[in-house]
Structure 1
Amino acid sequence: MRITPPITLVLLPGMDGTGDLFAPLVNALPSTVKTVIVRYPTEKIMSYGELTTYALAYIPKDSPYILLGESFSGPIAISLAAQADYQLKGLILACTFASNPRPLLSKLSFLVPAMPINKWLFPSACKVLMGKFYDNNVRSLLAATLSKVPPKTMRARLDSVINVDYSEKLKNIQAPILYLQARHDYLVPASAAKLIQQCAKNVELFTLEAPHLLLQVAAKEAALHIQNFIEQL
């Protein structure tokens, strides 16, 4: 009897790129779900195309897998899924986008190089990322994570978001897609998910009562949706 290898869940991180913020989700997932966390270089400035090539090395070569792209990594997950072979069984997108989710930012892109990114802005960042769902444990994890990433790297990634448009790549994705949307996301509007639904095939969307840091603040609920998605494949 042929034994089917277990599916690997490949996790592509948000703008910090460290992968550390996946800890709550990984802890909430059952032990039967094998996870691989992609961790981008913190010091090196890399474009979306370069990060996609970098992430490719984390993907299993001869066994089934699922991609999960969180926030900043949505375009990377989309690009990888668009060129994947039959081993890709599904794509999960969490609080993310295929193109610039805030088009008005394009007009302000010239300000990005001078944008202040420092510890004094951290309280404001927490309010935007968590809102009324403020969690001390998530705050501590976020602070420790962001301290590892230089401001120049964050600025470069923000600039990449402003200029990205991978909506056409969605049409080439054959695997089913699960989109996890946060009802109280102050960064990525509902229109981002709507565009993905319009451009891609077979998109299942769930809206959770959560902020942008959905996979951290609502890790257990997100893990349940992910587990159900895997079981249906």
Structure 2
Amino acid sequence: MGDRIVPVTAFAQNCSILWCDATREAAVVDPGGDVDTLLATIDALDVKVTRVLLTHGHLDHVGAAAALATALDVPILGPHRADEYWLTGLPQQAEMFGFPPAEALTPDRWLDEGDRIRVGERTLDVLHCPGHTPGHVVFVDREAARAWVGDVLFAGSVGRTDFPGGNQDDLVASIRGKLFPLGDDIRFVPGHGPESTFGDERRHNPFVADKRFG
């Protein structure tokens, strides 16, 4: 198992390239921008990307998905269909945040709770974790004790819920009801900022720690 974080866009979004050591098959999670940088990193890693995975429909996570998928001739999987309005609204998102023009996006496959994605000999479990957006998904490699959580959870913080479709109660339920039960040892890559573990956040995160709900 290997993975590489490549910060992209002015929002320093954590795009991840993850791969199977045995087969060198790879996936790219949340390519928000900087296609040339991502292609150069993929080439340097000497991996074969077979799919692009999206956690949710916000521009800084999906802005380069179509261009990257076209360049690599691979499908786009995710997020959950409940984020369709974010993907169809990408042109408006780009204008709002001062990003380069973006076209509406429809993935090759929407993802649902319980789906499993194979990357070589690795398996990623899909969890539907609404709250930041209604169609947000999380990817979990249980064998490697690693997760890619997008903007659901951060080191010491949680995702915003003030965007259209956000819901604070849903977000807390996603984190405490779906992520924390996976185990304290799971190390996660958030959409922004440093990595952490579910255990550290369960103990210390001021928004979702056990002591807030005990």
TM-score of the two chains, using structure 2 as the length reference: 0.34
- Bigger Cα Rg: 1
Q: Which has the higher helix share?
A: 1
Q: Which has the higher strand share?
A: 2
Greater relative CO, 1 or 2 (CA 8 Å, sep 6+)? 1
